[in-house]
Amino acid sequence: MWSVRVFVICSVFLVFFTIGLYSAVDLKSLHPSFLQSTGLKERELITTTQSQQFTTASWLGDSYASETPLYSASECPSKLQQKLEQLKFEGGAFLPMVPVLQWAPHATQEQYKRLIHYVGCMGWQNIKFDDIKEVLSLLNSMANGVMFDNWRVPVKREMWSKRGAPPSSACVRCAVVGNGGILRKAGLGSEIDKHDYVFRMNGAILHGFEEDVGKRTSFYFFSTNTMRNSFAAYRGSGFLKVPISEETRYVFIPDHDRDYFLVTAAAKGVLVEKGREKGINPSNLLGPNLTAEKFKMIHPDFSRYLRNRLLPAPIMKSQSRNIYRPSTGAFALLTALYVCDEVSAFGFLTENYANFSDHYYDKTYKKTGFYANHNYNKEMKLWRRLHDVGAISLFMRNNTDVGLLHKS
């Protein structure tokens, strides 16, 4: 974990959007079932073909590929993204066409040359093209290219009815559930599970807390590093396995090559062949019956976009800039903003966070830790702003006694 570091730096910086030449790839020709299965009439992958001109701020990478937005097939009469397009964000405008997920069509030399300049989840630096090509070639179905690959299947309609949601609803309703102590004794489990999709992340402990946080997990966000750190940190609290169910999809935020290696092994049904997890059976981490369709990977362009435009921070002007990225919870919530029609956020930081323990499953009060690789204050202010303009519904709570209430 990173130590708390304070940087008193001017946060005004310039970012440049490089306008390139574009070419379109017809995904229908790659995957005949794609358009029919998702209900999309047209979906194009548009990639920059002109090399970027690098400047002293080129590490920002504030230039992105462009795709038809994942929410474009929505039949919801009031699209959430229309509200977002009207907002001004600190780092620049809302860009609806930034690719959210990376998969088979992105495995090209052209994209590799463009993304190799950026570190961690922001790009493909220190990862060989052959490794990128291998893993993305395995992620070659519509289940890997869209978030809601099961939106139109009959089982989905039956599940809606069981949850009490209107079967005729055209809007995708998502609950994004953080692990904050504000959820302790909140009794929100039933409400959370009635959403069409439920997003969770990292040390999400469900057993014993179903009444407060629900039972379902549609999407589990993590990196290999954050997952293994969660096992180490929260095992004593009951985090013994990640959420596992038929509906659960695993959404990787690929911080290192180890994420690509783990997905490759899981999709192939073999032991991890390279990296720090070499020799590990992916099923020991992610459960049995793994197939390539269970996995999604956040696109590096989306990672840079979230950092550069929605959550820019003073650390980005320091020598420690490469450690900074949005938190895993921020990735989950902001991804939901890009793909859902209605978003409810539970268990995220609010202004009175100090009155609650760090996690809803803590056995004794623990102060929320702030670390240099994330900017939780920025995130907290963004959640409140999005709530105030009606873009999300943020669960907030007065200083009610929840058993581990901080006594100041």
pLDDT, one tens digit per residue, over 149-168 is: 876 443 344 444 444 444 44
Instruction: Give dist(CA 319, CA 295) in Å, integer.
Output: 34
What are the pLDDT digits (tens) for 119-132? 999 999 999 999 99
pLDDT score recorded for residue 229: 94
pLDDT at 52: 33
Predicted pLDDT of residue 326:
96
Per-residue model confidence (pLDDT) at position 213:
98
Does the pLDDT at position 95 exceed 60? yes
Instruction: Give 50 or 350, the one with higher predicted confidence.
Output: 350
The set of residues, in sequence order, having a beta carbon less than 8 Å from that of 6 and lying 6+ positions away, is none
- pLDDT (tens digit per residue) in 364-374: 999 998 888 99
Kindly list the distances between the CA atom of residue 358 and the CA atoms of 25, 301, 355, in Å, as whole numbers in the listed order: 46, 31, 10
75-79, 99-103, 231-235: segment of lowest average pLDDT: 75-79
The topology (CATH level 3) of 22-394 is sialyltransferase cstii, chain A (3.90.1480)
How much is the pLDDT for 57? 57
Question: Hey, where are the domains in the chain?
Answer: 22-394
Query: What order of strands is seen across the sheet that includes strand 342-346?
Result: 101-102, 295-298, 249-252, 219-222, 197-201, 173-177, 342-346, 393-394
Of 238, 316, 252, which Cα lies nearest the Cα of 282? Answer: 252
Say what the pLDDT of residue 151 is: 61
Q: What are phi and psi of 383, to 5 degrees?
A: -60, -45
